[in-house]
Structures are given as structure tokens and as C-alpha cells.
A and B are shown apart, each in its own frame.
Chain A
Amino acid sequence: MIEIKSISKQYDGETVLHDTNLLIRNRMIYGLFGLHEAGKSTLLRILAGTLTPTQGTVLINGYDIIRKPKEARRQIGYLPQEFPSADELTPYEYLAFVASAKGVKGELLHAQIKEALVLTRLTAVQERSLRNLSPAEKQRLGLAQALMGNPDILYLDEPTDGLSPKDAMEIHTLIRKLAQSKTVVIASHVYADLSLLCDRIIVLKDGRVIAEDTPETLEAREDLMLPQVLHIEQPQEDEESDEITIHEADYEDEEDN
């Protein structure tokens, strides 16, 4: 659970995030929606501990991100908007570095890396240099590194930005799969993406939270002027589940190879 209490952030005297109070519950997908400079990335960076708030506190599973940063950061996996790739390393080495930084050692380290590589379908390229990966593969690696240390919470900043629709759909499928056991917070300026993925959406405008509810409820509100999104009906969701199962079969094939 993430408790956000009276968070605000100022840059050079200008307030970019105003007195924000939120409660993010476990095992749900939350979306942070807002247009450019609405404050969603600032909020996500504060939640991830990469940016210090001007005032307020954030409790991650009870740990204060400022006072107990190490304990709080162990609870989270973070995919920044621009995933920093160390070009000299291979995906395996990169994941080993992140896992090691999160205190994962020995057999568990190798098991977690292997699991993440299979889940993100990167086993075939695990020994390839990062500079030779496609944008979609790099984004999947970004997701894989967020899984190191088996955190309870995942923060994903614009996870499908710059990807083709096909690659974006693949990332969506992966996020849904991960959300079965984790709390996921996604920041995006594409409302349709969030509407299809999230259980609840937090709408930000000019650094203020102006609404927080389910996608259906938010879309019914005329004052928010959100785009209407065609939600997938139940039979199609089943089809989606099948898709994940097929991917699982693929992973096994990949592993066998």
C-alpha cells in the first residue's frame, strides 16, 4: 500500500505539484493521467524516491521514502520514462547488476534473472549487447529490471512511449500478467492505454489531482472531457487470457531452445 500525505514539489519557487493526498491499494493497477507538465512524472519520481518532495511524506508499505529510503526502495521496481541502458552490458549482466543492488545474491539472483528473462521474452538476446537491442526489447528489459528483487510495487513511467502498436500491446499483456501479484502504478499521457489497463485512474492537471476513480466513472463525467474508450467485453478478455497462456508456452519453447 502507498500512502501519499500532503506531498508538494517546487522548482525555483514554482509549484509543480500541489498538496497531494492519495491512497494506493494493493494488487491493483493505478493510472496517473495528465497532459504535458500535469505533474504525473514528478509524482511518480517522488514515489520512486528519485526526487525529494518539498514537503509531505510517502509511505511505501509503511516505510517512509525519505527517512527509510533503503527499506522503501526494496518494495518497488521502477521503469523510468527514459530507461537508462548501459550499452556495454548484456541484458543478463544488467539484470544481475540491478538484482545485486537490491541485495539479491547467489542462486536466487540467477533464478530471478532467468525468470524475468523468460517472462519478458528476452532469453534469446540475453548475451547480446544492449546497444544492439530494439526499442521494444529495451523496454521489456526495463520491465525485467523492475522485477528484480521481487518488489510488491511497480512504477512504470510511460511504458509504451515510442513503441509500435504491436509492441505496446505486448507490454500491456505483460503488465496485466504482473498485476496479478503486484501493485502497478502507470504514468501516461495516453488516456486510452490507461483506461484499458487500469482499475483506477488518478487525473492530474497543473500539478493538482482533480479526480480519482474507475475509468468508467471518470469517462461518464463530462467536466473532465476524457475521450470515450471502447472497453473490451468479457469474452474478449478470455481470449486475452488465452494469449498469455500461448506466450507462456512460447517462453517454455524459448527456454528449451
Chain B
Amino acid sequence: MGAVYKRELKAYTRNLYAFLFAAVILAVLGASMFYFNLNYRLAKLAYAWSNGYTEYALILMIPILCMRSMATDRRQGMDEFYRSLPISTTSVVLGKYFALLTVYAAPLAVACLYPLLLSSFGKISWGWSYLILLMYFLLGAALIALCMFLSSLTHYPLVAAAMGFSVCLALFFLPILLGILPASPLLSLILLAALGVLLAAVCFLSTKNILVTAITAVVSIGSISVCYLIDTLKKGTAFEALFSFSLQQAIPFYQYEYVAQKGFLDLFSVFMLLAFAAFFVVLSILTVKARADR
């Protein structure tokens, strides 16, 4: 993993995208702080960094940063070359992912100075300020994993960037759409089952592994159906708006904004962001592995 990590990181330092990415993230975080905190004399840094602009910056820049991570390798034959080396596919994907995380963490390390800067104008909540930075890092980590996976599906970096941008934007606005869905238990069951089918389809398209696909479909649809039956027999209300609620929990932007508003370290939110990242990293590994057999 170390060899791939170093190689990727070296490539990013020679690449304009990484510097552009860092500049945009720092500029947006700085401008948000200046506009919302200093202009309106607000002490909460979380308010400035969770009003949409900072998320828009990630939605725009992370797909650009990640677009080459896997797609270029596939086009140049580098992924095949990796398979001739005594390193595992997992090491290759993790090496790439951690290199992207390092590039992302670099401007955030500089942004750690922003609360210090703000504190020179008055009293601030230190814990909340650094908590929002941590959550911003975790939000980025989740989106990087997603965009890296999307990059592994195509040969073309621009297609990967377009897919990443579209999916991230859809995720950002999804909580609003979920809020207007009816709270019917049956509708929740149908939509959750459809989500299970979609998940299984993604697994099949990326891995071409029927066993993995079948397990995903059976576990997701089966467990939802069993839960629905139990809930109906007990005449419970667990399935009312369950689809909207559960999907919201899986959306990184929702978890990020939840912690930003509450101002305390919610371990469930941290777990959900890490789980989201881990899911797409694993899916990337399976996608690259599946290609070796074709």
C-alpha cells in the first residue's frame, strides 16, 4: 500500500488539480467565515461552514480531484500493470484512497488556523469549531470514496467527474425530497425493497459476482420484509416514514449538518460517515478485482 500511496501522492503534487482543490476549499472556508462570522458578528464557526456553500465546494471539487484516480489507470493500462506486481488489489485501492484523503486533509490542516484567527475578534466555541472541521473531513472522506468508486466504473476522467458531480448533488438535495414523501408503511416497504434491488444491481454491475449480488439482495430485501411482517403483526408504527428516515441517515450531508447544528460529537453520525466511505471503498476494490477476471 505504501508504494502506491507514495506514487499517487507524488503524482498529485505535480498536478494542477490538487492545488486548485486546496485553493478553492481554503477560499470557500475563509470566505464563509468572513461573510457569516465577521460580517454578522456570529461566534459559531459551524454556522458559517454548514450553510451550503462549503458543501457546494465539495460537490464541485471532489469529483474533479477524484476523476483520474481510477479512470486514468484503466485507460492507460496501469491497473493491469498493478496486477503484475506483488501487491494486492486492496492495497492498490487503499493506497489511492489514502493519497486522496491526504490531499484533502492538507487544506483542512491549514483551515485549523481559522478558528485561531476568528478568536482574535472575540470569544468562540473551540470544541464546536474543531468538531465541524472534523465532520467536514469525514464528509469529504465519504464523498471521496463515492467519487473514487464512480471513477472505477469508466475509462474517461470527465465522465467520472460528471457522474460524481451529479450523484453528490443528488445526495445533497435528497433529504429535501425525502421530507415530502407520504409516511405510508407499505410505501416504505416498497421503496426500501426497491433500494435493495438497486443495491444488488450496483453490486452485480461492478463485481459481476452472482454470489455477492444474491447475498446483497437476499439480506437487504429479506431483512426488510421480515421486519415489516413483524411490525404489521404487532400493529406497530415502525415503518411509518421509515424509508425517508433510513435513507436520510445514510446521506453524508445529512449527518454533517446534524452534527453542525447540534454541536456535539454524535458517534452515530461519525459511524454512518465512516460506513458510507468504507462501503464505497470496498465496492471499488470489488470492481477492480472483477475486472481482472474479464
Q: Binary interface profile of B, 1-35, with partner A (CB < 8 Å = 1, else 0)?
A: 01110110011001100000000000000000000
- A101: chain B residues within 8 A (beta carbon): 3-4, 85-87
CB of B80 closer than 8 Å to a CB of A: yes
The smallest beta-carbon distance between B252 and chain A, in angstroms, is 30
* B80/A50 in contact, CB under 8 A: yes
Q: Binary interface profile of B, 72-86, with partner A (CB < 8 Å = 1, else 0)?
A: 010011101101111
Docked Cα-Cα span, A11 to B88, in Å, equals 24
CB of B292 closer than 8 Å to a CB of A: yes
CB of A5 closer than 8 Å to a CB of B: no
- B85: chain A residues within 8 A (beta carbon): 73, 98, 101-102
- B84: chain A residues within 8 A (beta carbon): 48-50, 73, 76, 78, 80
Docked Cα-Cα span, A71 to B85, in Å, equals 10
Docked Cα-Cα span, A52 to B293, in Å, equals 5
Please tell me which one of the listed residues A51, A78, A85, A129 contacts residue B292 in the complex, with CB atoms under 8 A apart: A51
Q: How large is the interface on A (under 10, 10 to 19, 20 to 34, 35 or more residues)?
A: 20 to 34
Please tell me which one of the listed residues A73, A84, A93, A103 contacts residue B76 in the complex, with CB atoms under 8 A apart: A84
Least CB separation from A142: chain B residue: B81
- A45: chain B residues within 8 A (beta carbon): 80
CB of A62 closer than 8 Å to a CB of B: no
* A50/B292 in contact, CB under 8 A: yes
* A69/B86 in contact, CB under 8 A: yes
CB of A240 closer than 8 Å to a CB of B: no
CB of B123 closer than 8 Å to a CB of A: no
* A88/B10 in contact, CB under 8 A: yes
* A78/B81 in contact, CB under 8 A: yes
CB of B294 closer than 8 Å to a CB of A: yes
Docked Cα-Cα span, A103 to B1, in Å, equals 11
- B83: chain A residues within 8 A (beta carbon): 48-50
* A84/B81 in contact, CB under 8 A: yes
* B81/A80 in contact, CB under 8 A: yes
The smallest beta-carbon distance between B103 and chain A, in angstroms, is 13
Q: Binary interface profile of B, 42-84, with partner A (CB < 8 Å = 1, else 0)?
A: 0000000000000000000000000000000100111011011
* B4/A93 in contact, CB under 8 A: no
Please tell me which one of the listed residues B14, B78, B88 contacts residue A84 in the complex, with CB atoms under 8 A apart: B78
Docked Cα-Cα span, A92 to B15, in Å, equals 18
- A74: chain B residues within 8 A (beta carbon): 86
Least CB separation from A11: chain B residue: B294
* B6/A97 in contact, CB under 8 A: yes
CB of A229 closer than 8 Å to a CB of B: no
Interface centre among B73, B81, B85 (most CB of A within 10 A): B85
* B86/A97 in contact, CB under 8 A: no
CB of A15 closer than 8 Å to a CB of B: no
The smallest beta-carbon distance between A34 and chain B, in angstroms, is 20
CB of A89 closer than 8 Å to a CB of B: yes
Docked Cα-Cα span, A45 to B294, in Å, equals 12
* B10/A84 in contact, CB under 8 A: no
Given contacts A50-B84, A74-B86, A80-B80, 11 further A-B contacts (CB under 8 A): A50-B83, A51-B292, A52-B293, A69-B86, A73-B85, A80-B84, A84-B76, A86-B78, A88-B10, A88-B15, A93-B7
Q: List 27 A-B contacts (CB under 8 A).
A: A11-B294, A49-B83, A49-B84, A50-B81, A51-B292, A52-B292, A52-B293, A71-B86, A73-B84, A73-B86, A78-B81, A80-B77, A84-B73, A84-B77, A84-B80, A84-B81, A88-B11, A88-B14, A88-B15, A89-B10, A93-B10, A97-B4, A97-B6, A100-B2, A101-B3, A101-B86, A102-B86
